Every structure is written in structure tokens, then in C-alpha cells.
Amino acid sequence: MNTTAVPAKTAQPSRQGEITSMAKRWKEKRGGLILALNDSQNHHAYIPRDAAMALGIELGVPLARIYEVPTFYNYFRLKSPGKHMVSVCMGTACYLRGGAKLVDATGSLLGIKPGETSQDGNFHLEMVRCLGCCGLAPVVTINGEISAKMNETSLREQLTLRVGKGGN
């Protein structure tokens, strides 16, 4: 049995500096692992595997512990989302005013299910718990821009207006 230690793979050279900086910023702070992973996701729109591994090395945290966080909190992504993020609010007010129909319509229009990215990498569909715009329900965000009092027709219009995808 070979017991030789294999050195851990570090981040791509272009990422190593940013990882070192994130680790230094959060290493000694309470909740630093979550904050460092949040920084990484904010920078890449997801947590790349090599970045997670490098953060583990820089923070002195085992890789298993690193992955406990993004697999527990659904805020974190481990796969690259699409170029355009479409989020449908499923909070109580949005749900009661047709949020589920909007999820179905969006999925049908883009050819994907919630949590998926289109094959061309252009769109990612997600359901979110609440966007805090309950008086404007139902709400959809497209690339972070809020669209209020949505229905299937206005959804198609907003997708066409913002990202050029209208479906048929």
C-alpha cells in the first residue's frame, strides 16, 4: 500500500492571488469559511473546485469541511450558472399569485428546469425563497433586475427585452 502523500492541487495561477487575498481577509474571523466562499462565489458566480481546494489549503481547512458549507446552504453553487440568471420568487405572496406557473412558463420557454443551465450556457433558472417585494408579487429577476406583477406574457416580453430570448 502506497502511503506517500500527494500534494493538493492548487488554484489556477490566475486565481491563486485572489484566493490568497480572500483567505487572509477571513482566516481569523468568526464564520470566515462562509465569508471566503461567498467572496469566491461573488467573483466567479459559483465556487470552482480548484478555488475550493486552494481556499482549504490557505485556510488550513480540510476539503471535506469546505464542501460541507456549499452543500448545506443552497445559496452556494458548485456548478457554473448560465450567462443570464433568471430567478422566480416562490415566497408566499409570489407563490399565491402565480409563482409556480411562472416557474413552469420560464422552464418551458428556456427548455430547462429549476436549478439547470441551458445547454448553450446562456440561461440558468432558479427558484428563490423571497425577494422581499411581496407587494409587487409575483416577481422575477433577470440578471438581478426586478420585474414585478409578472405573468406568462410579461415574462416573455422581459426575457426578449433584457436578453433577446422570447420563445415562440
Convert the pLDDT of each residue in 18-57 to its tens digit.
Answer: 888 888 988 889 889 999 999 999 988 899 999 999 999 9
pLDDT tier, 14 (very low <50, low <70, confident <90, very high otherwise): low
Question: What single-letter DSSP state applies at residue 134?
Answer: G
Strand duo 140-142 + 123-128: pairing: unpaired
Give the model confidence (pLDDT) of 101-125 as tens digits: 999 999 999 999 999 999 888 999 9
Looking at residue 80, what is its pLDDT? Answer: 84
Residues 6+ apart with CB under 8 A from 74: none
User: Collapsing DSSP states into helix, strand and coil, what is residue 153?
Assistant: helix
User: Collapsing DSSP states into helix, strand and coil, what is residue 135?
Assistant: helix
Looking at residue 126, what is its pLDDT? Answer: 93
HSE-up of 11 (CA within 13 Å, CB side)?
23
Residues of the chain within CATH 3.40.30.10 domain(s) are 84-163
Q: Please state, rounded to an integer, the average pLDDT across all residues of the chain.
A: 86
Domain 84-163 indexed as CATH 3.40.225.10? no
Cα gap 7→5, rounded to integer Å: 6
Residues 6+ apart with CB under 8 A from 119: 111
Query: Burial of 105 by CB count in 10 Å (0-12 exposed, 13-18 middle, 19+ buried)?
Result: buried
Looking at residue 12, what is its pLDDT? Answer: 63
